[in-house]
Structure 1
């Protein structure tokens, strides 16, 4: 059974568990590293602050009673009619069960509810499975160069979906 749950600041330990699992299992998929969120970076105030991004919608997927996926929707700076999907991850044990689809649809629902006209995201160029999932949901490559990758030459792929016609 799949259930989606919106997290509040006091749920920081659940977010921490999933985020650290994501960074450990799929380091290629994120701009952050597990090392940055462990040791001195593993502080309750930092995890709470992550869940307190103004206007954010932080959601986890619970599969058979266990947290198995995560995503956030966040407002885009200087773009009141656009929001961004970030921190998307599904546990390997839950993949292929519609968890990613449900998380994306929830962020789309939230974005439309707040009046956003577009939803965008960044995906690592080598993350073919994630890009395919996003394409199935109507996201397309914007052609806009994303953040520079650690190799100093590659860039994240920026994808977007028009919500006005959805």
Structure 2
């Protein structure tokens, strides 16, 4: 059974568990590294601060009672009517079972409730599976340059979708 849970900074241990698993399993998919969040970087106050981004919506997917995926929606820095989808990851054990779809739809729902008109995200250019998932949900390449990659030359791809026709359902 798949259940989505909105989590707060008090839930930092489960967020930590998932984020460390994500960085270990898919280091190619994130701008952060496992090393940055381990050792001296692995502190409760840091995990809580990450989950306390103003206006953020942090969600954990539980499959059969076990943490199996995560995502956050955050307000965009540059536009009041835009939000970003960040920190998306689904455990390989449950990939292909609709967990990623549910997490994306949850961020879309949250964004629509905030009256956002667009949702964007960044994805590593060679992360073909994630790009295919996002495109299936209507995201398209904006052509905007994303963050610089560790190689100093490549950039993340920035994808976005309009939310103007999104219907909030309860």
TM-score, scaled relative to structure 2: 0.97
Match of 2:17 in 1: 17
CA–CA distance in structure 2, aligned partners of residues 88 and 143 of structure 1 = 21
Q: 2:81 aligns to what SS in structure 1? A: strand
Distance in 1 between residues matched to 2:96 and 2:116, nearest whole Å: 29
SS of the residue 1:105 aligns to: helix
Alignment of 1:50-65 (within 5 A): 50-65=50-65
Give me the whole-angstrom Cα distance separating, in 2, the residues matched to 1:80 and 1:94: 34
1:146 maps to 146
Alignment of 1:3 onto 2:3: yes
CA positional deviation for 1:78: 2.6
* Structure 2 segments unaligned to the other structure (5+ residues): none
Aligned length: 166
Between the aligned partners of 1:163 and 1:60, the Cα distance in structure 2 is: 23
1:163 corresponds to which residue? 163
Instruction: Give the root-mean-square deviation of aligned CA atoms.
Output: 0.5
TM-superposed CA distance for 1:8, in Å, is: 1.0
1:95 is aligned to 95
Q: Write the distance in 1 (CA, Å) between the matches of 2:156 and 2:9.
A: 29
Distance 2:24 2:9 in 1: 23
Structure 1 unmatched ranges of 5 or more: none
* Structure 2: distance between partners of 1:76 and 1:148: 18
Q: Answer yes or no: is 1:79 the counterpart of 2:75.
A: no
Indicate the SS of the match to 2:152: coil
The correspondence of residues 119-130 of structure 1 with structure 2, limited to 5 A, is 119-130=119-130
Matching residue of 1:39: 39
Report the secondary structure of 2:126's partner residue: coil
**Distance in 2 (alpha carbons) for counterparts of 1:133 and 1:15:** 22
